[in-house]
Amino acid sequence: MATSTASVVFPDRESPNLITICAKEVKYEFLKCLRFPMYSVSTLVLPLMFYVLFGLLMGRQAVGQIATSLYMITSYGTFGVMGASLFGTAANLATERGLGWLQVKRASPMPVFAYFLAKVVLSLIFSVIDVVLLLCLGVIFGGVHLVPGMAAKLVGTLVVGALPFCAMGLAIGYFATPNSAPAVINLFYLPMSFLSGLWIPFMFLPKFVQQIGVFLPSYHLSQLALSLVDAGRRGAATGHWQSLVGFALICLGVAWAGHQRDQKANG
Amino acid sequence: MTLAVRSSNARQSSIVTAAKSAVLCRAVSKHYGPVQALANFNLEVSPGKLVAVLGPNGAGKTTAIKLLLGLVRPSSGTVSVFGGDPSSRATHTRVGAMLQVGRVPETLEVSEHIDLFSSYYPHPLPLAKTLAIAGLESLGHRRFGVLSSGQKQRVLFALAICGDPDLLFLDEPTVGLDVEARHQLWQEIRQLLGRGKTILLTTHYLEEADALADRIVVLNHGTVIAEGTPSEIKARSAGKKIRCLTSLSSEVVETLPGVLNVHEDRGKFAIHCSEAEPVLRQLLARDLEISGIEVISAGLEDAFLALTRERTGDSEAVGKRQSLSTQHRNRFGAIRAGRA
């Protein structure tokens, strides 16, 4: 009924294809970030560099039952997808919200969800690149042996696990200003990484640090990745996933509150 | 289900009113907390016309545009675009907007920005045509970040027109442009009018409103203080301006009959008066050395200053408002001086 009315009133005004819009939005979001060194270098080069320094050059000794080079793929993989997600969403959103670009987009006929979808998909693309490059380095230079199925599972886990950090990024992006966003992100990102054992293996961290670490989403994601290569601590995968989903929901709630705050400011 | 019914009703009502007006604001007020941005604002733009909303900074011009784009909601009153909800996507596909923006993503190329915005519209212009209309032919592959400020403004203009919309909102489109670039953009705006587009433009350049608009709405402190064709607005000041070099003091000149006000700068006088001839007779009689006499019709600027001054007179009792308006006038004066 409604569609027939629409076709009568706007015979030549059919809506443009949503898939085309989303594809273009993602494509240009990707190009925009790839060409922006502050994003592309810090999210791609930093985890790889850390991996080379600590995972490959520090020797072939083992962490627990597995080689450092394999262990560090999971921890720097987690570090990498967190960075790609937090910076991909929060930094962009804070800047574009604060300096009027989001408003220009909202004044256009762009469906608003396409805007957010592009930010999340971009973060996931960079996450995949991050983990795949780490795996390549590990296999070529670190003597890591992983069957393709397992490697794919590792990439999949880390990339799906990046979603809660996209939600966290949106929450930060709604409350940070363009100038404060990178600092605020690092204020969460770096301590979280350390406390979750992404730089120094969790088992080597002091007891009280471990007691804090188990509450962090980054800890749960890194444990999920580690359990794939049989190096996880005790605790079922379901528990880790539940923690991540819970964390994502909290972040989405905060992002929603931020969105409402913006709406209210505009009456 | 309810939604579907509501939207089809909205569409039906849009058929009824579409022919009448492209833009309609009825008794619109808008507060941001305690700050009143617009008070009892009425505006109507007929299809194919250009209406200029003219006013100093902080007059409420941008708020009016945001209301018409559905970016903010009115505190009271009704706003409609093509008879429909200004925030709906159906309305947005017929509308293009050039807003003031702090930062545009700088690492995308001009043609990439246009390609993306074109994809939002059902019948966009071909890329080459958008580039040509906005005068960006040779800049398609330049990244936004390396462009000059004038070129950046033209890209924002291109994003507003790329969907070939029926209605354009241009929020201070020529701010920060040099004279040549400004005239070029005016030319492009006239071409769009020639193609039947409806345009609502805000500006604090009085010359711009005079050059482009079918109708001018003068806005100050969120209230419409005058409305009419450019010549009607000018007629409201109904005066002449005499420029001359004289040795008389400004105190003496001010007391001459028919003189409204006098600006003096090192012996050069600008005398605003209701009629030129009696004042000229007095001047010639009193100063035999008087030279460099010019008589001109008071322009839109003088009309505007006169109008905003009238308004300020009304609200003299309200101290805070008075000081605000003085601020606005000063800012406006600065702009004026800058252009002189």
Q: Is A31 on the interface with B (CB under 8 A)?
A: yes
pLDDT (tens digit, 9 = 90+) per residue, B258-292? 888 888 877 788 888 878 888 889 889 888 888 88
pLDDT (tens digit, 9 = 90+) per residue, B240-261? 788 888 888 888 888 888 888 8
Which among A104, A113, A117, A119 is the top mutation candidate for probing chain B, defined by the most B β-carbons within 10 Å of its own β-carbon? A104
**Average pLDDT, whole number, for chain A?**
89
Contact A13 B104 (CB under 8 A): no
Low-confidence winner among A10-14, A51-55, A83-87 (lowest mean pLDDT): A10-14
pLDDT (tens digit, 9 = 90+) per residue, B285-329? 888 888 888 887 766 666 666 666 665 544 433 333 333 333 344
In this prediction, what percent of chain B has a pLDDT beyond 70?
Answer: 80
What is the model's pTM? Answer: 0.81
Instruction: Please give the structure tokens belonging to residue A61.
Output: 């000794």
Q: Which domains are delineated in chain B? A: 2-234 (3.40.50.300), 239-297 (3.30.70)
- Residue B123: per-residue pLDDT: 93
d(CA A254, CA B5): 33
* Total residue count of chain B as it appears in this document: 340
Contact A5 B93 (CB under 8 A): no
CB-CB neighbours of A253 under 10 Å: 12
Provide the ipTM.
0.88
- For the cut 60, the answer to whether the pLDDT of residue A175 exceeds it is yes
Instruction: Please give the structure tokens belonging to residue A146.
Output: 């992983």
Q: Percent helix, strand and coil across chain B, each rounded to 5?
A: 45, 25, 30
Contact A110/B69 with Cβ under 8 angstroms? no
pLDDT (tens digit, 9 = 90+) per residue, A31-53? 999 999 889 988 999 999 999 99
- Residue B294: per-residue pLDDT: 86
Which distant-in-sequence residues (6+ apart) come within 8 Å of A251 by Cβ? A164, A167, A168, A170, A171
Which among B120, B141, B175 is the top mutation candidate for probing chain A, defined by the most A β-carbons within 10 Å of its own β-carbon? B120
Backbone φ and ψ of B123, nearest 5°:
-135, 70
Q: Compute CA distances A250 → A86, A180, A255, whole Å.
A: 15, 22, 9
Contact A6 B31 (CB under 8 A): no
- Which residues on A lie below 8 Å from B71 (Cβ)? 103, 106-107, 266
Q: Compute CA distances B94 → A41, A173, B172, B214, B285, whole Å.
A: 40, 31, 20, 21, 63
